[in-house]
Structure formats: C-alpha cells, structure tokens
Structure 1
C-alpha cells in the first residue's frame, strides 16, 4: 500500500517541482534588467526625417524617407522639445557624465592634445576650456580635461555588457579618454578621438588618403572591409549585431551605444538610396545627405529586426537622438543649425521605445536636455545606488516616459558656448542661453546684446522681444548669471581690456 502511495506522490512532486522551476524562470525573466540601445546620430537636424516633430509635416519632411524612425515612434514616445548642445563634443560629454557643458567645460569639439579648435576673433580671446576632453575618473594628471565617472562604467559595474560602436569623440588624441575601453566599454568598434571620418566608403578604406586629406580622420579597426564597396553605416550595423551576439552568449544584459558617424560630412552616397533622391529632383548635395539619412534609418530598422529575431525585442529599450543641429540644409520652421544658439542648433529629433512601459504612439511636448540621459538610463536599468566623481545636473525623464509627471515644471535649461566655431549662419557665435518655461534668452558676449523669444509663439525665433519685456530680460539674465557663477563657467576675454567679458546680469 505504501509503495502505491509513493508511486502516486512521485508524479505530483515532479509536477510541483516543474511548476516551481517554471515560476522561478518566469520571475527571473521578468526581473532581468532590460537591454538598452542608445542610437545617436551625428549632425542630424530636427527636420531631417519623414517623421515630423512639429505640429504638421513640412516640405522638408517630404525630402526624406525614414520609415524605421516612423515605426519606432509608433511603438514608443516622440519628444518634440528634446535639446542637446549645438556642437558634438559638449553633447557627448554631457551624455556620458550627466553634467551641463558649462560645468564640464568641454565647450567646443576636441581633436589634438593641447590644441584649440577655436576660430580667430577680432574682439575676443577664448578661455581655457577643456580642449583635451573627457577622461576616466582615475585620471588626474592631464590638464584641461574633465575626469568623471561615466555612464557605461556604472552600467558595467552593475552587470551590463557594454558596447561602443561608431563615433566616440571624447578624449583628445593621445589621452586615455580617446579609447572607449578606458571609459567603461567592454567592446570598442571604430571609436577613437576624431569626430569625423576620412571617408564613408570601404573602397577608400574609410581614409582621407584618397583625397590627400589629413589621416587623423581615418576610421580605426575596420581593415576587414577595406577595398570593399560598402558604406561605413552598414559596416557598423553588422559589427554591432555581432557584438550584441557576444553579450547574449554571456547571458548578460547589454548597453549598445550605437553612435553613427553619419550623417556628418564628408557625405558619400548610400548607394541603394542615392539615385532615388536624384530622381526626385534634389541636387547632388541634398541627394547625398538624404541617402545617408535613409542609410542611417536602415541601420535602425536592421537592429530592430535583429532584436525580434533573437527574441529580445520585448526586453530592449531603444533611445534615439541626434547630438546637435543639422548642417544638411534648412531647419524650417526652426532658425539656423549646427553651432547656433537658436533652436535649429540645439533642438533634436528624439524617440524612446520601452516595451510594456511607454505608451505606443505617444508624444511628449515637455522639454528636456541631453544631460538627462545619464540618470534616466541608470533608472531604466534599475540601478538605484551609485556614486559619481562629478556633480550630475541631469534629471531623469522616466516620469515623462511613464506619464507620471514631468521634470520640466519649474526647471531652467542652460547652454554655454564661450567659444567660436568655424561654421557660418544665424545665431552662430559666442553665447550663453537660458530656456525658462516658454521664454528663451540668448546673451551675446561680443556685443553684450540680448535676444528674448517666446518659443511656443515664435518657434522660428523671428521676433526679439527684449525691448518689449525688459523685466523678463533682467529676470532671465539674473538666473543665467547665477548659474554660470555656480558652476564656475569659463568666460571669453575681451582683447582690449584683457579681462573676462561681463556676466549677463552685469549688463
């Protein structure tokens, strides 16, 4: 009789054990930290897409074909007021550290060690900004750098497999920060100190040699593709998928920093798409740019498909953004582009997909800035406790993603560019700027003038209201001056006096 009972009990125990194992496996699956892809585009303007980030489509949106951006937006949340800095290195350093550019002082783009890239000016000398860029937290013996605890370093210490793919552009040539492996990445694909490429084409070995250019721009580590008829954007996508495969083999959550060199110059045709834009009537320059934009979009689509093939799409967060304004043409209805304090220089296309958390097809109209990605990504990863060497200015926008609140209420955003970029166009100059609610104040260091705009009513910044609202100018200038002093911001020098130019609240 006892043996009969035992025979009956055994299947029941096996069933209970199987159910317990299944439940534990399900709980583990649900509690596993999400994979995270940060898809960053270089020099892509707010309107360089078929996906409108304004209230309506414009003629510019008709010039581009970015179906995968449209797909991503349909599966996630679009942000219509996402801001970066107007130049690449400041934005990328803010992303990695959570610091405002005025605080980290990498206020212009970096390249060679101890050499400035500032253009000459007749009235201003430029300050000792951190032209050697970002360095690891352990590095304290290099002048004119910011040494900080980086985002991928924290992710790495918390079990993430961290992948850098594409443009790095953090530390200057010859510094530790030039190598992404020193900044918290397990894998580095094609990243170094330069912020552009010698060529986007494999037939030219991704080198500037074919045009007798400076070899400092040559893309490292891509020898396998030299001599082949392949675009760098496609190469980076292939390599990124391989790297993600390694993360999956190690059964770790991954952070993929997919940082395309596109759509930065020198433009080269993304051949599957180029002729289409010529046939549409675009001139050669516009067709080159549009083809590279669609090539970038193709990369996004291939990564999204890869996630589904691997069965990890539902546990992967995708964040899409550009690092500064575009140079590929008009930014209508925005004013100007890369290098400018106007909206065309700092307002970026942004989309976030977080399956099961972010409402599909939703739109957020509140403002945020690239500094905010640092705490946001760590919160998405479930990392609640961490320490940083630096003060973090960014605010997590997870409440916006969950529609539980906003970080925009009562918050001011600041931009500081005490430099001179080599580009030309409206609003390109030496400025500090504040966005406070609907109002935006631009302070020009060269002539000590102010421009005041009401952004919701004047998105194109056509009407300077500084004379009409002097008290608002005074209020915002006071806030801006207080912030610059708080972070010990570097100021330009007046050549004639040899002294720093006045703070905005001293005018």
Structure 2
C-alpha cells in the first residue's frame, strides 16, 4: 500500500481493513466459506426436471405465478448463461461429478432395465459434503442407475427418498412392459405406482423434515423434483389454477415448494447461513423455450440453457445477475470450495469453482468454453465466449433427419447478437469456424484419453 494512502486512512478504518485481509487470507488457506456465526454453511440444491429457461417469472414468464421464486431472485443472483445437457441422466452425471457425461461414460437416458450406472468410484456432490461431516440427503428423481450399487446411499448420501428414474418409466400410463414405478426409501421400495399428484408435496415435506432435524448441524440437501416431467401431475391445491394449464399448475406447485423451504430456513434462523441453488436438468419437453430456439433433446440453447438462481444473504448480492458461462458441471468444485473439502486430484474434472462469479460483481469468466454433447453422447457443438459452433450441422443436434434432407455444414452463431440462433454466420467467419472446430477436436481427444468407465451392475446370483 502506498505510504500516502496508508497515512490517510483513519485508525478504525485501517483496523477494519486489516481484519478483512486476515479473514480473506483465512478463507484462502482453508478453502471454506464461513458465516458470521463461524458455522459451516448449509447447501440446498433444488433441481427441476424439464424446466425451460423462461418457465418462471424471474426469467420472463408472465403467465404463471411464481411469487416465491420472484422473491428468491430479488434476494439472490440470476445466472443467464447456465448450462445443462439435452436429456436426463447425462445432466445428472454432469451435476454429480463435475464432468461431462462422456468422461464418466453415463449415457443420455438410463431405463429401469439398464445394467449400467454412475460408477461407485466416482466422487459425487454427496461425497464432497461428507468429507466435512455434513449430513447428506437426496430427495426425488435420481436417474443414475437403479441397481443397488448405483443408488444415492452408495454415492455419498446418508439417506434417500424418491423415484430412482423418470416418472414415466412405470406401468402407468404408457409403458406396460416396465416394472411398476417404485418409490424408495434408502435402498428399499416402499410403494409402487405412487399417487404422482402428491409427489411434489411429499418431497417438500421430506426436505422440511431434514432441515428441522439437522438445524444444529451442517447439511447438504439435494432435491431433484420429479416434476415437471411428463406425465404431469399437480395436487388438488394447484390443479386447474394456473393460466398455462397443467404445466403451469406443476410450475406453481414447485414455486410453493421453494416457498416452504425458504420459510423453514427463516423460521429456524438458518437463512443467512444457507446457500440455496435452483436450476433444471434440460429444456422443456415438446414445448417452446422462447426466446430461445429448440427444446429438450436438442443442443440449441432452448434445450440446454437453464434458469439458475443462487441465494445466500450476505454473500451473494441481492438482485444481481451473471452472464458468464457456468453450468451444472461447475457445482462439484464450487461446493468443495464452499464447504472446505478437497476436489479429487486423481482424475480430470471439467467443472470449475465459480464462487468468484457468485460473490463478486462483474467477475471475469472462470471458463470461457462449453461443450455440447447430444443425447447419443456425441460432441455436436462448442461455445467459446460469444461464439457457438455446431460441428456437423442441424440434423446432428438430436433431431431426426427427415427423408431426403441433406446434411448441412458447420453452423456458427453469435449468441451476444443472436441468442435465438436464427442466423448462421459461418460463411462470413471461416477463421472462427476453424478455430472453434480445432478447439472442439482437442477437447474431445483429451476427454477420450481420460475417459472413465460407467459402473456395471453385478450379475444376480
């Protein structure tokens, strides 16, 4: 510090600065975020199924009522370039491991008869929290393997309550060849074909119970809702109440669930010591994701760019927004920094710690590149900064090629000027196309060289 500045600072201010520097140095040394009470922070991750970018009020929806999420956003930070993947299981693999699904060999969608799942040797969000003695619970849709060795209780979570895969994978209403839809507690099936109109409420009750039980201890709660995946269900309190029909009803009930959780945190005086994250696994199914192009199953922004809000009073600036590239693959290293745990050093991770984006206004990019894998685990696109390149043309995005349709060449979009991906500017920017293509090839080669196997279920005796 220059001497003139040193002499101009009043004693009380100088002492405050010294205290702040000491606190910052301690944070860097421990890698943990501490609240003013000195307690380790709680973390709640709410993960919605098939919620599109503009399905809630904070991201532009004016047809549904989401007062709790509106308040949540006003008190937290919106991430407007937050990425997931086109479909279910691959998105959860990214979230749990901090890696692209191809790196951990989890396919796009797992079914009840799948014999593979997330390898038990992978380090998950639950494992990260357990390192520091956190109570961990998963409530809702798991979808990373139904066999015993792949369930949440074998993947870093103390307990589990929910449906282990998508809610359309039971005998009702459309898959008579599947086994009955199981509702599980830990590793036991406690019901089959449960009343799905009650799932959001039951998951919420379980979440509130966990918060109350662990109010004096640090906890990590992972709440991946079964809604708003098809088939849609809402309880009697919400069914027929929204302007968007049944899909709106389910969204408004999710909003109610968020309100119940926030109310519980405030009642127990845990609010200031809890980071709450709200996001989704992929874009909307068979619905528009306007103003974005595409929806679930595609790698257009509408299929993979998700609403994301993070709230932590005193840490995250209220009413703020971040447009830097981030995504669910960043959650594992970010959680590790927050709880003071170590990320695994014996394997490659794709995600990065984004706490600088969360806690610092206008922070620079943590990673400026994002890879787009389709549901068949093929690399179909890459984004670097404002530029997004589809490598093999539109039919490679996951949509079926129409009879007689010709494959088109690489498609380039400037997402800053053309968020809806309407104008292909590849012909005007050949050098950018070549640069992104080369980068994509390099990234894919590295992932393939360091690819890890999926878990394989043991043969039944």
- Kept in 2, the 8 Å contact 1:335–1:344? The answer is yes
Match of 2:127 in 1: 153
Q: 1:448 and 1:217, CA in 2 relative to 1: closer, same or farther beyond 3 A?
A: farther
| 1:210 to 1:196, Cα distance in 2 relative to 1, 3 A | closer
Q: Which residue of 2 aligns with 1:96?
A: 96
Describe the superposition over 1:270-313 as per-residue Cα deviations: whole angstroms up to 9, x where unpaired: 43233233xx4xxxxx5111100111111000000011111211
Secondary structure at the counterpart of residue 221 of structure 2: strand
String of CA shifts for 1:186-219, please: whole Å, max 9, x gaps: 1101142x23356xxxxxxxx6457774335333
Report the counterpart of residue 432 of structure 1 in structure 2. Answer: 380
Task: Please give the per-residue CA displacement for 1:464-488, whole angstroms capped at 9, x wherever unaligned.
Answer: 1112211111111000011111111
Return the alpha-carbon distance in structure 2 between the equivalents of residues 28 and 66 of structure 1: 29
* Partner Cα distance (1:393, 1:407) in 2: 18
103-112 or 215-224, which moves further after superposition?
215-224
Summarize the alignment of residues 320-469 of structure 1 with structure 2, pairs less than 5 Å apart.
320-327=278-285, 329-383=287-341, 385-403=342-360, 406=363, 408=365, 411-417=368-374, 419=376, 432-444=380-392, 447=407, 449-469=409-429
Q: Output one character per residue of 1:8-45: Cα deviation in whole Å (capped at 9) or x when no partner.
A: xxxxxxxxxxxxxxxxxxx9972211010001101100
Aligned position for 1:78: 78
2:441 corresponds to: 481
2:183 is the alignment partner of 1:219: yes
**Any stretches of 5+ residues in structure 2 without a counterpart?**
1-33, 397-406, 452-461
Aligned residue for 2:389, secondary structure, equals strand
1:229–1:404 distance in 2 versus 1, CA, 3 Å: closer
Alignment of 1:46-445 (within 5 A): 46-52=53-59, 57=60, 61-112=61-112, 132-137=116-121, 148-171=122-145, 173-177=146-150, 179-192=151-164, 194-197=165-168, 208-209=171-172, 213=176, 214-221=178-185, 231-248=198-215, 251-277=216-242, 280=243, 286-327=244-285, 329-383=287-341, 385-403=342-360, 406=363, 408=365, 411-417=368-374, 419=376, 432-444=380-392
- Which secondary structure state, in structure 1, belongs to the residue aligned with residue 50 of structure 2? coil
Residues 224 and 305 of structure 1: is their aligned pair in 2 closer, same or farther, counting only changes over 3 Å?
Answer: farther
Query: Is contact 1:149-1:390 (8 Å) kept?
Result: no
Count how many residue pairs are aligned between Structure 1 and Structure 2. Answer: 402
Indicate conservation of the 8 Å contact 2:76/2:316, yes or no. yes
Equivalent residues of 1:431, 1:444 under 8 A apart: no
- Is the alpha carbon distance of 1:389 and 1:242 closer, same or farther for their aligned partners in structure 2, counting shifts above 3 Å? farther
* Contact map agreement 2:200 2:253 (CA 8 A) in 1: yes
SS at match of 2:214: helix
Deviation of 1:391 after TM superposition, in Å, equals 1.4
Determine helix, strand or coil for the equivalent of 1:314.
helix
Secondary structure class of the residue paired with 2:350: coil
* TM-score (norm. length: structure 2): 0.81
Judging changes above 3 Å, is the alpha-carbon distance between structure 1 residues 229 and 334 closer, same or farther for their aligned structure 2 residues?
closer
* Number of the residue aligned with 1:35: 42
Unaligned runs of 5+ in 1: 1-26, 116-131, 138-147, 199-206, 281-285, 421-429, 492-507
Q: Bigger radius of gyration, 1 or 2?
A: 1
How far apart are the structure 2 equivalents of 1:275 and 1:210? Answer: 20
User: 1:395-454: per-residue Cα shift (whole Å, max 9, x none)?
Assistant: 11100111166462662111222718xxxxxxxxx6521111110001227647211000
Aligned 8 A contact 1:46 1:344 in 2: yes
Q: Say whether the 8 Å CA contact 2:128–2:335 is kept in structure 1.
A: no
TM-score by length of 1: 0.74
In the alignment, is the contact (CA less than 8 A) between 1:271 and 1:291 conserved in 2? no
Where does residue 9 of structure 2 map in the other structure? Answer: none
Match for residue 457 of structure 2?
none
Residues 334 and 343 in structure 1, CA contact (< 8 A), matched pair in contact too: yes
Question: Distance between the aligned counterparts of 2:106 and 2:175, measured in 1?
Answer: 30
Do the aligned partners of residues 301 and 474 (structure 1) sit closer, same or farther apart at CA in structure 2, a change above 3 Å counting? same
CA distance in 2, matches of 1:107, 1:389: 23
Aligned to 1:44: 51
Within 2, Cα distance between the matches of 1:99 and 1:474?
A: 25
Distance 1:71 1:41, change over 3 A: same
Contact 2:381–2:388, Cα closer than 8 Å, also in 1: yes
Deviation at 1:462, TM superposition (A): 0.6
CA RMSD of aligned residues (A): 2.7
Pair 1:373–1:229, CA change in 2 (3 A): closer
